[in-house]
Amino acid sequence: MKIVIGNDHAGVNLKNNIIKYFSEIEWINVGTDSEKSVDYPDIALNASKKILNNEACLGILICGTGTGIGIAANKVKGIRAAMCFNEIMAEYARKHNNANIVTLGARILGEELCFSIIKKFISTDFEGERHAKRVNKICAMEEL
């Protein structure tokens, strides 16, 4: 399973610790790897492209709050980014919304909580059925 991970300057430390903790995962790291200020929309776009090109099946995006980078990723057609504060949000973002990116707030959430959120996000499948109809409606809105 290849997973893309990206972050702005606020998320460098958390990103490095996630990569270390989940050492069995094949990561595609789109940066940044420096604490020099960068613009989170650039990172969101680079990570989204990896999913749309099928280089990665899921993504993790980190900024200070998890908000900006998620708003940016959700502008990309085919991306469903879910900001998650806990495991339950991560579980249902996959089960019901078929989210392909989870966004995390490095200045908001503790590291252990982030690890649990990621574990749940990557180990949960989309349930389809009635939820597929709703996700298809979201996809149709991308054509407006």
Q: Is 96 a catalytic residue?
A: yes
DSSP state of 24: T
Residues in region 68-127 near ligand RB5 by CB under 6 A = 68
The residues near 54 (Cβ < 8 Å, ≥ 6 apart) are none
Question: Rounded to the nearest whole angstrom, what is the least distance from the CB of residue 11 to ligand RB5 in the complex?
Answer: 7
Question: Rounded to the nearest whole angstrom, what is the least distance from the CB of residue 14 to ligand RB5 in the complex?
Answer: 11
Residue where the block lists tokens 């504060």:
85
The residues near 84 (Cβ < 8 Å, ≥ 6 apart) are 66, 90, 93, 102, 103, 104, 117, 121
Residues in region 11-50 near ligand RB5 by CB under 6 A = 40
- Contact pick of 64, 92, 116, 124 for ligand RB5 (by CB under 6 A): 64
- Contact pick of 4, 10, 12, 114 for ligand RB5 (by CB under 6 A): 10
CA 130 and chain centroid, separation: 24
Marked catalytic residue, from 57, 84, 96, 131: 96
Active site residues: 63, 96
